[in-house]
Amino acid sequence: MQQRFLGRTGLRVSRLGLGTLTWGRDTDEHEARDQLIAFTEAGGTLVDTAAGYGDGASEELIGSLIGDVVARDDIVLATKAGITRARGVRETNASRGYLLSTLDASLRRLGVDHVDLWQVHTWVDDTPLEETLTALDHAVTSGRASYVGISNYSGWQSAKAATWQAAVPGRTVLASNQVEYSLVNRSAEAEVIPAAEHLGLGILPWSPLGRGVLTGKYRTGTPADSRAASPHFSNFVGTYLNDRNARIVEAVARAADGLSWSPLEVALSWVRDRPGVTAPIVGARTAAQLRGSLTVEECELPAEIAIALEDVSAPPT
């Protein structure tokens, strides 16, 4: 698998990342093991998780596989802090103390002394930005993280954070912004991606397959083993099951038929090679699903098809 630099840093990552949102909950230990083996055997290195995924279950599962399935130095380990669920309620916290204590807990669950990329999971209005950023600085200077980034920051938020870091001597440069980006959600193109390109942040798209919709699996209904049928993710996927996105899915399917590819390969290669993108983060419930994504390494979308897909998926004005 080809490698890319993350933003303007020296950190090299595979141009496809392995997402672990469902690990420890909908994806059990055996499937996770098979996924990690398949991913690393294909040359993948970037493994992304978060403290809030399954209330730490994802990190614990990854930690049990490091040293067994894969050597620590063979992967680029990324995690996030700032979103959690307490008593079933989603909570956000980007205070310095909370972030650093969460990072320490993540390191314990992962069984490592540092992560390669540590990201603030979301912007939080009621926490001063400079306080949040000092947590990132301390994570690097203390050796807990090699590089730091942000996630789900808007264009102005990422610009403010990156400018602050660059303006103060000795501060840690931000490496990336992880945001949702796909053919059915191109909102990042308005401000987030231009800001990232100008400021030297690599974009890590999450849900590059439109929460699974772009695979075409929902064209005729909701499969029983799909995320839309899961009590955890039914609303998450359901918001994308509409007439506009159905037209985009049909366009992707037609392109796939013409290329003898799968719809997944068409949609994923499109976002992977968009300006500013470093590595889409692909999540899968099973190893078989993941292997269907890994074939995209051999795919290069013809320019005329990419343009046609851009036209049909153009965001509403």
* Catalytic (active-site) positions: 53
DSSP for residue 147:
E
Distance CA 275, CA 24 (A): 34
Beta carbons of 155 and 191 less than 8 angstroms apart = yes
Task: List the structure tokens of 163.
Answer: 């400018």
Q: Could you count the other beta carbons within 10 Å of the beta carbon of residue 150?
A: 27
CB–CB of 117/149 below 8 Å?
A: yes
CA distance to 42, 62, 264, 288, per residue, from 177 (Å): 25, 22, 23, 29
Residue 45 dihedral angles phi and psi, to the nearest 5°:
-125, -35
**Which residue, 262, 263, 240, is CA-closest to 185?**
240
Spatial distance between the Cα atoms of 222 and 75, rounded to a whole number of angstroms: 35
